[in-house]
Structures are given as C-alpha cells and as structure tokens.
Amino acid sequence: MTETDWYKSLSIGDKVVVDNGRFGLGIRYKIGIVTKVTPTKMIQIDNGEPKFKNGMILGNRYKETKVIYPFDSVWAEVAFRCWAVWQLENTNFNNHSTEELKDIVKVLGWEYVKQ
C-alpha cells in the first residue's frame, strides 16, 4: 500500500483534512468534504479549495503548501487542536462575563492568586 492509496478510494461526501500551509493567516488545518471526484481522480473540496490530484493542490506553483490528508483520528485531532487554538487566539475575552471567564480559567487549570 502506497502513501496515496487512501486518496484513490475517496468519494463524494468523504471528509479530508486540508493543510493550508505555514505561510497564510488563519487556521492551518481545516476539515473539508469531497464534493466532486473526476474519473482521473481529481478531487474538489466543499470550501472552495482548488482541485487536488494525489493529495496535492493543482494549478498553484506552490504545490507543496497545500495538501490533503485522510480524515482519521490522528488528523481529526490535529485539525481540532488547530481550530481550538485559533479560536482562543482570536477571541475578545472582554465580551465575556466574569462567570464565563471563571469557567474558562477552571477548564484550563489556571489558578488566580489575589494580590
């Protein structure tokens, strides 16, 4: 079994993890859904991504910066962690109540020391 055999078995409705590369802003790993598979195994993803062939983006001279990976437990966790960190980095915590902030602090395991 080769590294891209999983790719050949993709069909419409399957989930994949899209690696947006290191050079852009926003979330690096996103979950996409296959919306089209051509007879030559070009894949179109639902979020407007360009077509992929053998897991690599087509029509981009920087082919190495965008690839897709199988949606398995490992890549699903990577995508979730990336999304969660991005959400935390881009949240305006001033818009949350003190009680909500206390809940967040508790979940994160932080301890507030009163001066």
pLDDT in tens, 23-41: 555 667 888 888 888 887 7
Residue 102 lies in a domain: yes
pLDDT in tens, 72-112: 888 888 888 888 888 888 888 898 999 999 898 888 888 88
Helix then strand then coil, in percent of the chain rounded to 5, is 35, 25, 45
Residue 10: which domain range? 5-108
Residue 45, classed as helix, strand or coil, is strand
pLDDT band at 64 (very low <50, low <70, confident <90, very high): very low
Has residue 114 been placed in a domain? no
Q: Cα dist. 16→12, 88, 99 in Å?
A: 11, 24, 37
Q: How many domains does the chain have?
A: 1
Q: Is residue 16 part of a domain?
A: yes
Q: CA 76, 74, 68, 83 torsion: positive or negative?
A: positive
The answer as to whether 46 is a domain residue is: yes
User: Has residue 75 been placed in a domain?
Assistant: yes
How many Cβ atoms sit within 10 Å of the Cβ of residue 68? Answer: 23
Q: Answer whether residue 38 is part of any domain.
A: yes
| pTM of this prediction exceeds 0.85 | no
